[in-house]
């Protein structure tokens, strides 16, 4: 019998992922700082606090990076947009 070139086993994504090196450190889950500390309040009149959740360019940091839960991310977004609307925070970086 003649062997064809395409008779070789094709490797999928799962095989490629198995051969990766193990991570040198364990990834830990980011916890929402507002859920863990009930004294923290999201206030649109506090621009210094809201700046922690914006980039240097003025964009709102996503929750997967900041670690906030969905509920507090929505409140943060609303507070940042209110602060921008009344000119407490800039829309763009200066």
For residue range 25-71, list pLDDT tens digits in order: 777 777 899 999 999 999 999 999 999 999 999 999 999 999 999 99
Is 17 a domain residue? no
Is 86 a domain residue? yes
Is 60 a domain residue? yes
Is 11 a domain residue? no
% of the chain residues with pLDDT over 90: 62
Task: Please tell me whether residue 54 adopts helix, strand or coil conformation.
Answer: strand
* pTM greater than 0.75: no
Task: Please tell me whether residue 61 adopts helix, strand or coil conformation.
Answer: coil
Q: Which domain holds residue 39?
A: 29-94
Is 80 a domain residue? yes
Asked if residue 89 lies in contact with residue 54, where contact means CB atoms within 8 angstroms, the answer is yes
pLDDT for the residue 17: 57
Q: How many domains does the chain have?
A: 1
- Alpha helices by DSSP H, 1-94: 13-18, 33-36, 47-50, 63-66, 70-85
């Amino acid at each position: 019998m003649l062997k064809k070139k395409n008779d070789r086993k094709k490797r999928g994504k799962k095989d490629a992922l198995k051969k990766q090196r193990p991570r040198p450190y364990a990834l830990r889950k980011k916890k929402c700082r507002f859920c863990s500390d009930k004294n923290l309040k999201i206030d649109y009149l506090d621009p210094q606090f809201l700046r922690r959740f914006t980039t240097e360019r003025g964009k709102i940091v996503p929750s997967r990076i900041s670690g906030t839960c969905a509920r507090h991310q929505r409140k943060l977004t609303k507070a940042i947009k209110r602060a921008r609307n009344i000119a407490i925070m800039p829309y763009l970086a200066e």
